[in-house]
Structure 1
Amino acid sequence: MSYNQLASCAHIRRENWYFTDGEPVQAGITYVPVDVANTSVVASTRQLGAGGLYRRLEDLGYPMHRMREEVHARMPSPEEAAALRLPPGVPVLEVLHTSYDTKERPFEVTRFVVRADLGALDYEITVED
């Protein structure tokens, strides 16, 4: 299931904003299918407690086995530029994160939009034989 497919099906939408020194630097919009979130705290509570979203999803039977992230650089939409208080000409990084359970079912997609002038991506991935 792609970001567009998940975002267009019946879902729970969660929005998170990240700030540095009071300035918005990143937005994350998460989509969890209604049949996954159901009536759990994922669907009904702002503060998800220790372990956050992924711990609550694991509690529901959706442990993250694998994730995929697609990263693109692009110019922001006018709405994104305003919300992130971007100076003219500053691009954003868009990260589409998809979580898969042990049965290889996608159960969560988050679209991050990151100010490219104040943000960075730093990955460390363990490769197993």
Structure 2
Amino acid sequence: MPKLPRRPVLRDQAGRSSHPTEGAPHVRGWVTTDDDVRSALSVSWFPADLADSVPELLSTDPAQAATIGRRIEEMVGPMRHCRDYVEARAADAREAGYLQLPIGSPILAGTYLHWSTNDPDLLIEYGEYVLPPKKVLSWDYDVDDMATEM
């Protein structure tokens, strides 16, 4: 299994697409809303060199964001090995501000990592998100796949 990376430093404000400096990861951040109520703060880091072949990474247009995963898979192969971490904890000042909650409010925080199938050492996406109370996460998975790993 690939080594887990150190947690990167947030380099951009949510809601903006940053333009990476040479060698720096490309960062995308956004706030999700439901009926004008903020329901998630999310940030993703991608290898900087992907922006050359996947220009959608540099776009702030939400319509282009929907194609990013497909375009990345066209360039580096499918993202099949993934790892998720989920933690219930208190919101820090930045998270509380974006979610419009008091500092210290309970949140659900998650981190996800996606590696390329073609290059198992290539971490394609590192992402973090936080959700306010009363939000539900759900994953689909096949039990057959899990049984072979036990």
Q: Name the SS for the 2:76 alignment partner.
A: coil
> Relative contact order (C-alpha < 8 Å, sep 6+): which is higher?
1
Give the TM-score normalised by the residue count of structure 2. Answer: 0.72
Percentage of pairs with the same residue: 23
Superposed counterparts of 1:21-36, under 5 Å: 21-36=35-50
Structure 1 Cα separation of the partners of residues 10 and 59 of structure 2: 20
2:135 pairs with 1:111: no
- Any gaps of 5 or more consecutive residues in structure 2? 12-22
**2:31·2:38 contact (CA, 8 Å) conserved in 1?**
yes
> Alpha-carbon deviation of 1:33?
1.3
Superposed counterparts of 1:34-113, under 5 Å: 34-38=48-52, 40-47=54-61, 49=64, 51-87=66-102, 90-102=105-117, 103-104=119-120, 105-113=122-130
Equivalent pairs counted in the alignment come to 128
Q: Which amino acid aligns with 2:7?
A: N
Q: Which amino acid aligns with 1:25?
A: S
**1:72·1:95 contact (CA, 8 Å) conserved in 2?**
yes
Give the TM-score normalised by the residue count of structure 1. Answer: 0.82
Q: Name the SS for the 2:79 alignment partner.
A: coil
Q: Which of 81-90 and 71-80 deviates more? A: 81-90
Closer/same/farther in 2, CA of residues 12 and 34 from structure 1, 3 Å limit: same
- Any gaps of 5 or more consecutive residues in structure 1? none
Structure 1 Cα separation of the partners of residues 104 and 10 of structure 2: 28
Counterpart residue number, 2:17: none
Structure 1 Cα separation of the partners of residues 106 and 64 of structure 2: 33
2:2 pairs with 1:2: no
Closer/same/farther in 2, CA of residues 78 and 6 from structure 1, 3 Å limit: closer
